[in-house]
Amino acid sequence: MRSVEVITMVTFSETTQVSPMELCEPPCMTAALSPGLRRKKMLWQNAVKHIMIQQELSAQVGVEPAQKIFVTDAYMEEINKQIRNKASRGVTKRRSSTFRMHSSHPRGSTSTQNSVRASFHDYASDADFFLHWGHTIRGVYIPTLRHTFKSRDLEKLYQQHYSHQRRNSLAISNVIDAVAKLHVLVLYLGLAPEPVTDTLRGCLTGVFMVLAIALCNIVLTCKDSISPRWLHFAGLASWLSQTTQVLGGLVYGLEKDPSWYVLYTLFATYTLLPLPLLWAMCAGSLTSILHLLVEITIITVFAKGLLYLGMNTAGLFIHYLTDHAQRQVFLETRRCIEGRVKLEQENQRQERLVLSILPRFVALEMIADMSSLEDELNPHEFHKIYIHQYKDVSILFADIKGFTLLSMNLSAQDLVRTLNELFGRFDRLAEEHHCLRIKILGDCYYCVSGVPEPQRAHARHCVELGLAMISTIQYVRQQLNFDMDMRIGIHSGSVLCGVLGLQKWQFDVWSWDVGIANMLEAGGIPGRIHISRATLDCLEGMYKTEDGHGRDRNEFLQKHNIDTFLICAQEEKNKVEHVEPLKVQKTNRTWHQDMPFGNIMDMNSILASFTNGSLPNIWQSSSKEINKRIKQAIEVQSSERMHREHITPLTLVFKDTHIEDKFCQMRDEMFNSNLVCSFILLLFLMATQALVPAPRLFPAVLQFSVFLLAYMLLLLVALAEEFKCAPAALQRFCCWIHENNSARNLLTLTAILINFGLVSTDMVIKDLSSRPFTLCNHPEVFVLSGVIAMVTCAVFLRLNSLLKLTVLLLVVAVYSYLIHLAFLSLTRHDVLHGRKAISILLMLMFIVAVFYNGRQWEATARLDFLWRLQAQQEVEDMMELREHNECLLHNILPLHVARHFLDRSKYDEELYSQSYDEVGVMFASIAGFNEYFEQKEIKHEGVDCLRLLNEIIAGFDELLEESYFHFVEKIKTIGSCYMAASGLAPDRQASMDQWNHLSELVLFALAMQETLREINRLSAKNFKLRVGIAHGPVVAGVIGATKPQYDIWGSTVNLASRMDSTGVSGRIQVPEATRKILAEWGFILELRGEIFVKGVSETQGKVRTYFISTMRSKRANVVTDGRTGGRTGGRMTLAGVVFGLVQARNKEKIRESNTGFSLAPCSMQC
């Protein structure tokens, strides 16, 4: 049966009634905290929660949005600003929505966000994806034939992405063609005057109609029809069929002039057939030229040539702008997928970072627990602890004898490399022997067997691990030729395990049994395994032992009358030679250096962008995965699924009215291009009509002048913001029009009506004329001009498709009446009806084609908007995770060390190590806490004790947020001992202020004492802090491959530890050398005397030590930056400031918690 109890989420806020002996929440730890500190406090719980959420998201198929899409006014303003600035720059280099999002959603001025924003400033713009992105002149796009992606794979995916849509367009084109032929055939059968000749042409009409239907069927049913190359050739075949009919003149028994069909062929070539722009231009030009070659009259040739040229121009703009828009959608789709990929990568990295702090079983327990909670955690429950209690476990402590001398004889890099290799080997041995490494304390290594999975042979596993560790250290001793050995202590019992504090989280174990195991190691013998009677009983006689006499070497063991034993040396040898030969062989194999963060150093591919802006290279490294996801998205038709989820099928408006409103506010970056193209069509129509002599010159000139003036006003209003010389009021009006959908629609309808009005009014004027040679004598020119005017609707791509349909129906209704008037002069009744029918048929064909093209483009534009928003949310989530990841990394490592890992190359195999000559080291122990814990544990109240310890450590951690302690760095906690250092940051001051950090460390210790006094007052306890501080050279480094850990080593660390262990409760003890420096910085110290310090006094004699006085001066003098000033007249000046700071903050939080609102914000980070 599993001997484990899980104590869930214990908080101070759960205490409802507080007696004098009960714990209550200190005011400095209430919910009235700044959002930044609140987020940092819950960071590791939030990190695990993010893992849970992202695992659910990653289980979804494709990239279909799994959450509601949001859009803000600030984001819309930024989009419009980017569109406007892009047009103003002349060269189109549209930045990604990623960059736009970051610019519009600042999250503060932290270094994280500054660096992230800086790196995204260099993020690949749209232009970086293309061979040639093109140019804009005053906001008008200039088409280019090289508008393709640089990457062949990306271009291939783009073609595949729109293959379904282009296949449908090809099918629609052939359906329209077939229906038109059917109508022509019906007209032929009813009105054919020449049965013999026209019968053959009628049969050919039917044949081509069948061919169109067959091609449509093949396109929709053939498996290879979605291949881009196949579609290109299918489109070419469709164009060839239509052009052949035009040139042959075979299929129109009544209509000898196929000009109307030429216009449809040209329009379909550019907008419906899946042809590249170059192919479409060549096909359209060839169709126009070949048909003009068979014309008879010069006027007709020039008139139709201008109309064909106008149609080709409109088709060119429509094709280019549509392709441009589709590529934009594709890039936004890619960015969304890229954001999701990076989000998953960030989540994986976060999981690895969390698992480098927490064992997997703790993390999984948190995930299971948080899955049942609300999305927002209770803000009053900050200091939660997840404590697991395990019984029937064995604890192993191992210490390296001779390490201090070794650290003096090795360089910093060699020392860190040796420790990393040694402890990496120990980690592998621990895993092989079913032990869980807990922590590395300098040169001390300890682990537990029986956690998390119960082990019946937990004691044996620890002994086997101890034997393997001794064998390993013997091998190391031979390799280094240095006298070193292992001192190992093992005890069996129960433990409480979890994570305490707010910074530098490390999984740890606590219990009275852990303390006994530690003392067994301290009282052990090098090269031997020192065990307790509890462990001996668990071994059940498997090993030969002898009396350990531990009480003779350790005061703790003697005081508590603990019997100890040693595993016999002969038994160790037998075990090594016979029981574990394979493990020894593994131990003696060639050493392989495990890199710290080796299993998470691929985080550099993303996190390095925080500091060195290497995202373009990162994109290349992850492009294969992104392309793979895009292909998957194409297969599952993610765009279609997004369309169904967010867009109404009939009207194509967003189901969410808020998104619809924001979409209408977005600028149409192609509006200027559309307006200019429409103006070009107007010029072609004017030129066409100018070829036909007017009955009176003045009305024609007046007509042209009015329409030109009206259009020039439209252009002036639309393009005013592109000219700096324009009046400011006009520019603001122009900007309002571009950002107001109704105003844009009004200008669009005006432009369409101008083009339509030019044709219709000219028809009316000339129809009223008595001149024999007018446009009415060439009604087909009038009809074709009307079709060109109708194409103006297709030019304005952003115009709502239903509004387009309404305009087109009104235009056709007016045209039908004018067509009736235009053909009245024809003498032959059959020709009259035939041409009228053909003209109306042409109008209907264009209605269908223009409406389908407009609806298709509108859906594309709306999907583009959705993908932008989705990509924005993905990147926002990614940025939040990045911030979490960097904070998590900083919670494992100091800031400057984290930057080292972020900045270095992924393939840099150098371990981090650094030598320092002037570092302050502090050990602060809560005197009497171990005895208090022992009493509580006997009463089965160990969890309450850890709850109190968590609040104390959290209080200490909160002090580090103050700018006063800028140079103080928490290293770790060792039970109830708090270790910190100063002077490790590379930006510390030099010259006369080189020891400013040491004074900060002393002030930090004084503030810790004040914090502990406040917690004592609230919890009715009487704990005191025993502090030891020393200064001097240290070696810093990161070791451990599976659980990276930053640590410092050296004689200074040992001396500071001894200053603590030999100190006095409530006092801060320092050696002579440290006293001299602190005295210069205004501190008053009192002599304690000379004491024996283990590790120093053996060679140098007793050490003279001093206590820092706790008296305070009434004077205060602080520099304006919030940190302590230089040397002052009295050392209590600085301490008084810190004490006042702590007390003022506590009182502030009491007021906030009582009133329910915050007072004026404090300039300090709280």
Instruction: Show which residues are catalytic.
Output: 399-400, 443
Is 627:157 a contact under the CB 8 Å cutoff? yes
Is 1060:1024 a contact under the CB 8 Å cutoff? no
Please tell me the distance from the alpha carbon of residue 435 to that of residue 453, in angstroms, as a whole number: 10
CA 642 to chain centre: 21
Please tell me the distance from the alpha carbon of residue 256 to that of residue 201, in angstroms, as a whole number: 11
Is 557:517 a contact under the CB 8 Å cutoff? no
Question: Which residue reads 């230089």 in tokens?
Answer: 1126
Q: Of 1152, 1110, 1154, 1151, which is closest to residue 1132 (Cα–Cα)?
A: 1110
Is 454:362 a contact under the CB 8 Å cutoff? no
User: Could you tell me where the beta strands, DSSP code E, fall in 418-560?
Assistant: 435-441, 444-449, 485-498, 508-510, 529-532, 545-547
Q: Of 814, 810, 711, 696, which is closest to residue 754 (Cα–Cα)?
A: 711
Q: Which two tokens stand for residue 375?
A: 């999305």
Is 1164:1122 a contact under the CB 8 Å cutoff? yes
- 442 marked as part of a ligand binding site: yes
- 1094 marked as part of a ligand binding site: yes
Please tell me the distance from the alpha carbon of residue 612 to that of residue 899, in angstroms, as a whole number: 10
Is 138:719 a contact under the CB 8 Å cutoff? yes
Please tell me the distance from the alpha carbon of residue 501 to that of residue 385, in angstroms, as a whole number: 9
Q: Which two tokens stand for residue 618?
A: 């990162």
Please tell me the distance from the alpha carbon of residue 299 to that of residue 692, in angstroms, as a whole number: 8
CB contact set of 220 (below 8 Å; sequence gap of 6+):
167, 171
- 399 marked as part of a ligand binding site: yes
- 1049 marked as part of a ligand binding site: yes
Is 257:193 a contact under the CB 8 Å cutoff? no
Is 1052:981 a contact under the CB 8 Å cutoff? no
- 441 marked as part of a ligand binding site: yes
Is 173:273 a contact under the CB 8 Å cutoff? yes
**What is the DSSP code string of 460-482?**
HHHHHHHHHHHHHHHHHHHHHT-
- 1149 marked as part of a ligand binding site: no
Is 791:268 a contact under the CB 8 Å cutoff? no
- 1134 marked as part of a ligand binding site: no
- 153 marked as part of a ligand binding site: no
Please tell me the distance from the alpha carbon of residue 200 to that of residue 195, in angstroms, as a whole number: 9
- 404 marked as part of a ligand binding site: yes
C-alpha distances in angstroms, 521 versus 425, 486, 568, 758, 914? 20, 9, 16, 101, 29
Q: Which two tokens stand for residue 815?
A: 């045209």
- 402 marked as part of a ligand binding site: yes
Quickly count helices (H) and strands (E) in the chain.
Answer: 41, 19
- 802 marked as part of a ligand binding site: no
Q: Which two tokens stand for residue 243?
A: 């052009």
CA 605 to chain centre: 13
- 1039 marked as part of a ligand binding site: no
Q: Which two tokens stand for residue 1165?
A: 């980070």
Apex CA 800: angle with CA 798 and CA 804, to 5°?
105
Q: Would you give the end-to-end CA distance of the chain in angstroms?
A: 46
Count of all residues that appear for the chain in the document: 1166
- 1054 marked as part of a ligand binding site: yes
CB contact set of 722 (below 8 Å; sequence gap of 6+):
87, 88, 138, 139, 672
- 400 marked as part of a ligand binding site: yes
Please tell me the distance from the alpha carbon of residue 98 to that of residue 117, in angstroms, as a whole number: 10
**What is the DSSP code string of 156-222?**
HHHHHHTHHHHHHHHHHHHHHHHHHHHHHHHHHHHH-S-HHHHHHHHHHHHHHHHHHHHHHHHHHH-
Q: Of 678, 664, 723, which is closest to residue 80 (Cα–Cα)?
A: 664
Please tell me the distance from the alpha carbon of residue 1025 to that of residue 1013, in angstroms, as a whole number: 9
Residues at the binding site for Mg(2+) are 399-400, 443
Residues at the binding site are 399-404, 441-443, 487, 972, 1047-1049, 1054-1058, 1094
Residues at the binding site for ATP are 399-404, 441-443, 487, 972, 1047-1049, 1054-1058, 1094
